[in-house]
Chain A
Amino acid sequence: GQQVMQIPQYQHVQEGEDFTTYCNSSTTLSNIQWYKQRPGGHPVFLIQLVKSGEVKKQKRLTFQFGEAKKNSSLHITATQTTDVGTYFCAFGAGGFKTIFGAGTRLFVKA
């Protein structure tokens, strides 16, 4: 079935460094969502992108949806220790089915 690949699997950064995670699909996606899961917590919705080439910003977070709607990225500028967690991309796979990527786990060293 449809799936998305997320890279990298893990990322260690020094506080203040930037971080990017990528989400790639072999097929065109109708939408892409991003979630954050803190260690021991539950997924929290961050954003949804639906348009080709769409870029959205939330403070230090920038989300992009590729022109072909097959890839997406989440970029965090100047990471903080509060950014620690796993970032998942997800997409609507028809009806009300949502498929999650494997996630990128971010570690931030103070």
Chain B
Amino acid sequence: EPEVTQTPSHQVTQMGQEVILRCVPISNHLYFYWYRQILGQKVEFLVSFYNNEISEKSEIFDDQFSVERPDGSNFTLKIRSTKLEDSAMYFCASSGVWGGEEHNEQFFGPGTRLTVL
């Protein structure tokens, strides 16, 4: 069964450093998302991406964040200058196929745990 993959599974970085989190969405999906989840808390929407551009973003997704789909398979989240409060689990998700009705059925990857020291 196709699945969303994410690398690395755990990233430790120093405050102020840049990190890039990588995701490979399900191959025929059209919509891509990043979420974060601080330990024990709810899943928070960061950004959605469709047709090679951002379609929605939350107030969390400020100028320190960017997303890219550099090729036909990868979808990345970059945090330019990490802060302590960026420590969280980051989930990538994908959804939607051409001709399908339910782009809201999102398939989540296993997540990258980001620890900022």
Binding site for B on A (CB under 8 A): 31, 33, 35, 37, 41-45, 48, 88, 90, 92, 94-103
Contacts and interface: CB of A to CB of B under 8 A. Distances in A.
B25 interface: no
Interface residues of B, number: 24
* Binding site secondary structure of chain A: strand
Contacts, number: 57
A48 B102 contact: yes
Contact of B105 (A37, A45, A99, A103): A45
Contacts of B105: 33, 45, 48
B104 A97 contact: no
Contacts of A101: 42
Contact of A97 (B41, B56, B108): B56
Contact of A96 (B43, B56, B102, B108): B56
Contact of B33 (A33, A37, A41, A96): A96
A97 B58 CA distance: 8
B45 interface: yes
B75 interface: no
B107 interface: yes
11 contacts: A35-B43, A37-B43, A42-B91, A45-B105, A94-B56, A95-B48, A96-B55, A98-B33, A98-B45, A100-B44, A102-B41
A96 B111 CA distance: 20
A90 B91 CA distance: 15
Contact of A42 (B48, B104, B110): B110
